[in-house]
């Protein structure tokens, strides 16, 4: 993806509760529609010994770490909730528009923890655009 296409990137630490719930609903919708894999993702999975079941588990149970808004897509970075045999956490980059896994990677747990503290590249003043129908639905629960 070209840098000029990115409108903004927002880290979960800067998200409101409403934004987090909205992004979780987008993730759930992608799961219901059916997740597909880009060729690049399949190549990286093979290269990095990441199994499809681990990617699906990460999407289902993982934490949304960042939201990237581009000119024509919304992209989530999802961190897995468990540590694999190599003491690594699996990360999945998921396109919301196409419900497609763009790529996957894994990090040593301690590297991931330190990287999550580097917040310079993130925007905290932009609001994630949430459709009005979701806002009404959200208001019923909170």
Bridge partners of residue 100, in order along the sequence: 36, 95
Residue 8 CA to residue 58 CA, distance in Å, equals: 24
The pTM (predicted TM-score) of the whole model is 0.85
Cα 70 from chain centre: 14
If pLDDT is split at 50, 70 and 90, which confidence band does 139 have? low
Q: Can you read off the two tokens belonging to residue 89? A: 């956490």
- What does the pLDDT look like over 56-106, one tens digit per residue? 999 999 999 999 999 999 999 999 987 777 778 899 999 999 999 999 998
Residue with tokens 């979960």: 12
Q: Model confidence over 27-60: pLDDT tens digits?
A: 999 999 999 999 999 999 998 889 999 999 999 9
Q: Looking at residue 116, what is its pLDDT?
A: 57
pLDDT at 112: 54
Average of per-residue pLDDT across 134-142: 68
pLDDT at 59: 97
* Cα–Cα distance for residue pair 34/16, rounded to 1 Å: 27
């Amino acid at each position: 993806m070209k840098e000029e296409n990115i409108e903004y990137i927002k880290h979960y630490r800067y998200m409101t509760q409403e934004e987090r719930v909205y992004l979780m609903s987008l993730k759930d919708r992608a799961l219901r529609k059916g997740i597909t894999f880009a060729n690049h993702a399949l190549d990286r999975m093979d290269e990095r010994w990441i199994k499809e079941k681990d990617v699906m588990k990460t999407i289902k149970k993982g934490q949304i770490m960042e939201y990237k808004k581009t000119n024509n897509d919304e992209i989530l970075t999802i961190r897995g909730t468990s540590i694999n045999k190599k003491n690594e956490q699996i990360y999945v980059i998921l396109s919301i528009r196409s419900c497609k896994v763009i790529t996957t990677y894994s990090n040593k747990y301690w590297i991931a923890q330190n990287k999550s503290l580097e917040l310079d590249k993130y925007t905290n003043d932009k609001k994630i655009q949430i459709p009005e129908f979701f806002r009404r639905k959200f208001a019923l629960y909170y």
